[in-house]
A and B are shown apart, each in its own frame.
Chain A
Amino acid sequence: DAGVTQSPTHLIKTRGQQVTLRCSPKSGHDTVSWYQQALGQGPQFIFQYYEEEERQRGNFPDRFSGHQFPNYSSELNVNALLLGDSALYLCASSFGAGFLSPLHFGNGTRLTVT
């Protein structure tokens, strides 16, 4: 049974470019959350998608956007990349969006902005 899978594993982009990161949730899960983990820091919540809608959002600018597809997979898009966007981006899935739903994390996508 596959867990949460993310692609690509690593990515290098230039300032000002746009990037799309992808996530497939664990089998049976319908909710996807995205987190940004800067080097040496804890993960920071970006947003959560449930039933193809953004349900909750952290303190991230509108340059960060997302989408959830009918098969529950999700994309994270970042426009106008800044050097400070360099980080490990983690996807987490769960069954149901509520408080009691345990999260399962993928191994992340390492984004480097030069």
Chain B
Amino acid sequence: GNSVTQMEGPVTLSEEAFLTINCTYTATGYPSLFWYVQYPGEGLQLLLKATKADDKGSNKGFEATYRKETTSFHLEKGSVQVSDSAVYFCALKINAGGTSYGKLTFGQGTILTVHP
């Protein structure tokens, strides 16, 4: 089946530190990969995505590269801010032709706390 595994948290960093959150996946089809962010009391927001191997998704200083050879999609940011404190979810969606109706498979989430 399809699954996503994220590094266990929580992750605690000081402001301006470098961030990496690891994500690996297993998929029976050809996946697109996503990072979603969930701020306290809110729903999920799409942070970035990549739809094919070697694509790099980027947004708000965050980046992730789709690595088919290592089945990974690690999230990175060069300098985190206090406002980046949230829960981050890695997810995949399988393109299975006409029967694919957009189901997302999520990892368990990684809590990030950034201190001033």
Contact = CB atoms under 8 A, between A and B. Distances in A.
Interface of A: 4, 31, 33, 35, 40-45, 48, 50, 55-56, 58, 90, 92, 94, 97-99, 101-103, 105-108
Contacts, number: 63
Contact of B109 (A41, A58, A106): A41
Interface size class of B (residues with CB under 8 A): 20 to 34
A43 B109 CA distance: 9
A99 B45 contact: no
A35 B109 CA distance: 15
Nearest to A45: B103
Given A56-B101, A106-B43, 6 more contacts: A42-B107, A42-B108, A45-B105, A97-B101, A99-B32, A108-B43
Contacts of A90: 43-44
A98 B105 contact: no
Contact of A41 (B36, B43, B108): B108
Interface string B97-116: 00011111111110000000
Contacts of A35: 104
B42 A48 contact: no
Given A4-B43, A105-B45, A99 B104 contact: no
Contacts of B42: 107
B101 A50 contact: yes
A106 B107 CA distance: 19
Contact of B106 (A42, A94, A98): A42
Given A90-B43, A99-B95, A108-B43, A43 B102 contact: no
Given A40-B109, A99-B32, A99-B95, A45 B43 contact: no
